[in-house]
Amino acid sequence: MSASSPSQPRKLFIKTYGCQMNVYDSERMAEALGSEGYVTTDRPDDADMILLNTCHIREKAAEKVYSELGRLRVLKDANPDLKIGIAGCVAQAEGEEIMRRAPVVDLVVGPQSYHRLPAMDRAVRGGAKALDTDFPADDKFDTLKARPKARRAPAAFLTVQEGCDKFCAFCVVPYTRGAEVSRPAAKVLTEARDLVAAGVAELTLLGQNVNAYHGHPGGLAGLVRDLAAIDGLQRIRYTTSHPNDMDAALISAHGDCDKLMPYLHLPVQSGSDRILKAMNRKHTADHYLRLVERIKASRPDLMLSSDFIVGFPGETEADFEATLDLIREVAFGQAYSFKYSTRPGTPAAEKPQLPEEVMADRLARLQALLTQQQRAVQQSMVGRTVGVLFEKPGRIAGQMIGKSDYLHAVYADAPADVIGQVRPVRITTSGPNSLGGVLAG
C-alpha cells in the first residue's frame, strides 16, 4: 500500500456511528475534504484518511472507538502516511483524552467544527496533530461549500437545527452538541432546492429537537409549508421531536400539508410521571397522551414511533408497568428501546443503578409488547394501497425496494425506471421487517 501521489486524488473512508444527523454530518465532512482533493472509498485499507464519526448516546461509546482504533493500528503500521481522525460526539466529549490515549490518532474534531477539516488536514499532512472541539462563532454551514450537483439518492437528510436546551438527566447531547441553534430558513430552502435539483424527492429534516426550530417566523410548521411549495419535492419528514415543542401550528400542518408524511417519531422515554420527573423531561404521561390525541385528531392515519429507556435509576416495577400501560394505550407502529446506561457528567450517572438482570428482564418484556404492536400495524397494511418512494433494486431480479408513506420498507416487482418515483402499491404481504406488494397504477 502506498500513499497517493500528487496527481492522484486522496481517498477518504468514513465510518458513521449513531443517528441520522451523523449521516448528514459525514456527507458534509466528505464534501469539505473534497476541497483538499479527497474522494470517498468504501475500503479502509485503500484510504489515505480514515474518519470515525462517533456517537456518544449508546453504552460504552468511547470504548468502542478505542477498540476500532486498535484494529486500525494495523493499517497505519502498514502505511505510515495514513491519517486517522475522530469526529462527532465522542470527539467532543473526550478529545484531549483521545489524543493522549491513542497516539495513532492524527486529528480530533467536534461536530460543530468540522468545517475546519481542510485546515486540519493540511496541518496533519505537515506532521502536526490537530484538535478542534470548540463551539466556534462562525457558522459551519456558511463556511462549507455548496453541495455538488452530482445525482443524489431519492431520499436525503437535511439538518435544520442542532443542539439541545432540555438537559434530560440521562443525555449528553447538550454537552456535546451545545445549545439549540436553528439554521435560517432561506439557507435551508436553498439547500433543499439544490437537493431536489439533484434528484431528491424526499427530505427528512434533522435536529436534536427539530420541532424547536425557530429559523422561520412560523417555526418548523412554517418551514415545512415553504418546503412543500418546492416543485419536485414530494415528501417531507422530520426527526427527532420533543413533546414540549409540538405546537398547534405543527399539529395543524400534519392535517393539511399533503407532503408531510403520516409518520411521527415522538420520544416519551417512560410512562411513569415519577421517572419522567427524575429524567427532567418536563412533561407527564397524561400530557403525552393528550398530545397524541390532538395530533391524531388532525391526522387520523398517523403512525407513531417513540423511544423508551428501561431501568432508569429508581425505576420500580410499578413505574415500569406504567410504561407498558402507556404503550398499550398509544399502540406504536415502531419504537426504539434501550436499557439505561450511564453517561459520565450527566445527573443520572451519580444515582444508584438498577441490577443488570432487572433491566434485561424489563427490556425483554417491553420489546415483546412493542414487537406485537409493530407486527399488528404492519399486518393492518395488507390490502391497503400506499405511496412508495422506490430507492434501489432488490436482491431478486425485477424487484425494487422503497419506503412507504409510513416509513415501512416495501418491495414490489417493478421496472428499474421507478427509482426516484412515488408510486401507489397495494400491499399483499407482511413480513417481520418489510411489506410486499404490487404496483397499483
Q: Pick out the residues of the known binding site for [4Fe-4S] cluster.
A: 19, 55, 89, 164, 168, 171
Q: Vertex 153, ends 302 and 199: CA angle to 5°?
A: 95
Binding-site residues, in ranges, read 19, 55, 89, 164, 168, 171
Beta-strand pair 130-132/107-109: parallel
Beta-strand pair 399-404/385-393: antiparallel
The single-letter DSSP state of residue 103 is T
Nearest to 157 by CA among 80, 237, 222, 86: 237
Q: Vertex 177, ends 247 and 243: CA angle to 5°?
A: 20
User: Residue 376 contacts by C-beta under 8 Å, 6 or more apart in sequence?
Assistant: 331
CA distance 80 to 238: 43
Handedness of CA 44, 50, 53, 59 (dihedral sign): positive
Helices within 172-316 (DSSP H only): 173-176, 185-197, 219-228, 248-256, 273-278, 285-298
Torsion of CA 291, 296, 299, 305, to 10 degrees: 80
CB 409 within 8 A of CB 437: no
For residue 240, is the peptide bond before it cis, meaning its omega torsion is within 30 degrees of 0? yes
CA distance 173 to 57: 8
CA distance 281 to 226: 31
CA distance 51 to 149: 24
Nearest to 143 by CA among 153, 154, 132: 132
CA distance 13 to 5: 18
CB 315 within 8 A of CB 272: yes
